[in-house]
Amino acid sequence: MEEGLLRSLVWTDYRLALLFTVIIPIILLIWAFVQRAEFIQRLLIIYWRVSSLFAITIYILIAAWPIGFATGFFARLLIPIALWFWADLNEEIDDQPPRPLKLAVTSWRWAITIYSTLGALFALPFLRCAFVERAIQTPSCRIWIEPSLLFKQYIHPASRPEFLGFLGMTGLFIYVICLSYFILVRLGRQGRSAIQQ
């Protein structure tokens, strides 16, 4: 793929990610709190827990560590699963009368599912950047790091990339522990119910 086209697509992907994974969920969460829609609040809190892998990925990519390509890819897979996995929340949303909040949440769930799926397919060929030695030095892999470096420039201009990468790796370690606990312990106890027992 031509470098200019790839750069344009990667930046478009990051802009869409900002819209679908940050801006819209914040608006929906505030709206759900105002409307006291507890089931939607619960869904969005679960979403924020799972999608934190995107933030972790940004910090890892600031340090240009290859594992960031893998974490970004897996974030795209985990987000739709987290939004549709919970049988009790799906039933609660389906049982609600047609209201603007229900329509907005349902539309966003479908939009982010489509975005995440297409994004994962688009990122799949670049997953090699996480595993091939020195792949991170190739122009096609370096392009994926540029948005993270711009984030660093705006949010952490005085911080060293290695330190921010360390924060990302610390976050990844905690994330993996929490995800492992959920899969190995809580999932067996509560199944597809989001209500803790």
* Residue 10 covered by a domain: yes
* Residue 195 covered by a domain: no
Residue 85: Cβ within 10 Å count: 15
Please state, in angstroms and rounded to a whole number, the distance separating the CA atoms of residues 144 and 7.
8
* Residue 160 covered by a domain: yes
pLDDT, tens digit only, all 197 positions of the chain: 788 999 999 999 999 999 999 999 999 999 999 999 999 999 999 999 999 999 999 999 999 999 999 999 999 999 999 999 998 899 999 998 889 999 999 999 999 999 999 999 999 999 999 987 777 789 999 999 999 999 999 999 999 999 999 999 999 999 999 999 999 998 888 888 887 64
Q: Tell me how many domains the chain contains.
A: 1
pTM of the model: 0.91
Residue-range definition of the domain harbouring residue 126: 3-190
* Residue 197 covered by a domain: no
Exposed / middle / buried, residue 76 (Cβ in 10 Å: 0-12, 13-18, 19+)? buried
